Structure 1
Amino acid sequence: MLDTGRSQSQSWSDDAGIGLIEIIISMFLLALLATAFLPILVQGLTTSVRTTTIATASQLAGQQLDKLRELGTTCSEVSVFDDVAPATTTDERGTVYQPHRQVAACPLTYPGVVSVRVWVTRTGVAQPLAEATTLFYVKTAAP
């Protein structure tokens, strides 16, 4: 067996207490890092929720325009689209969306176009989350 010149009890006493100090310092540094990154994490989560809400509202606005396309190409059919109030939709997070529609007056000559505006709001909030305006082609006044 090799003799290193030190006894085992002497090598233990040289390192005594270092582990506890290193743990305390590393916990302090970890707390500093967590405090620095916490605002970034919160902002990222907030942005994610906002983006999901806007994407859902955009999808609902597109669905409203799809329903308009299914009705037909006469002005009376497009006017019915404006008369029926769209139903609210609730997503998996509990956000309630309210679609709105606005159809302009029928043209004086046919064929022509009718301006249609669709927007989606959150219940209790007047500002639109998503909005679409389009010109819809109509062939005649009535079927």
Structure 2
Amino acid sequence: MNENAKPDLNPNESGFGLIEIMVSMFLIAMLAVAFLPLLINGLRTTVTNATIATASQLVNEQLDSARDIPANCTDISAFDDLPVATTTDERGTVYRPHRLVATCATDPALYPTVVKVSSWATKDGETDRLAEAVTLVYLESPAP
């Protein structure tokens, strides 16, 4: 018998390899479809987390700016009146930081004191707050 000769194949089994491949591709496709919602949900969560992280960073920058102002009521009140620039992230989302400084004490006898400064961030044109924080700023006097 010749070693290079091919064994005789049963004519009823011709194409059996192709059917197996098609069935395995179908099963792999079914698994991919089953994991697709999980992948989409993960991507949405990633976008939401990135948005909140950026908004939180903007809020912290506003509060840090308030802490860097000279410790008097006149300067902190002027800080509240300054316009706040919008920020755009690498995905094209536009954020608008907001800040609010509480009213300072008018009686010089009450100084030194603190004043509450609130900050929050929204998407531009929306009112839902993505992140917000409050801090107390130390004031030594009502005026410089």
TM-score, length basis structure 2: 0.90
Secondary structure at the aligned position of 2:39 is classed as: helix
> One-letter code of the match for 1:94?
G
Residue 33 of structure 2 aligns with an amino acid whose one-letter code is T
For residues 14 and 67 of structure 1, the distance between their equivalents in structure 2, rounded to whole angstroms, comes to 81
How much has 1:60 moved relative to structure 2? Answer: 0.5
Partner residue, 2:16: 18
Is there any run of 5+ residues in structure 2 with no aligned partner, and where?
Answer: none
C-alpha distance in 2, partners of 1:63/1:104? 18
Q: Could you say what the CA RMSD is over the residues aligned between the two structures, in angstroms?
A: 1.8
- Partner of residue 89, structure 1: 87
The count of residues paired between Structure 1 and Structure 2 equals 140
Alignment-derived partner of residue 8 in structure 1: 6
Post-superposition CA distance 1:8-56 (Å, at most 9, x none):
2414757521211111101110110111000000000000000000000
SS at match of 1:71: coil
Alignment-mate amino acid for residue 30 of structure 2: L
Match of 1:45 in 2: 43
Identify the residue that residue 31 of structure 1 maps to in structure 2. 29
Q: TM-score, length-normalised on structure 1?
A: 0.90
Structure 1 gap segments, 5+ residues each = none
Query: Aligned residues: percent identity?
Result: 53
Structure 2 counterpart SS, 1:55: helix
Asked if 1:65 corresponds to 2:66, the answer is: no
Query: In 2, Cα distance between the equivalents of 1:68 and 1:116?
Result: 8
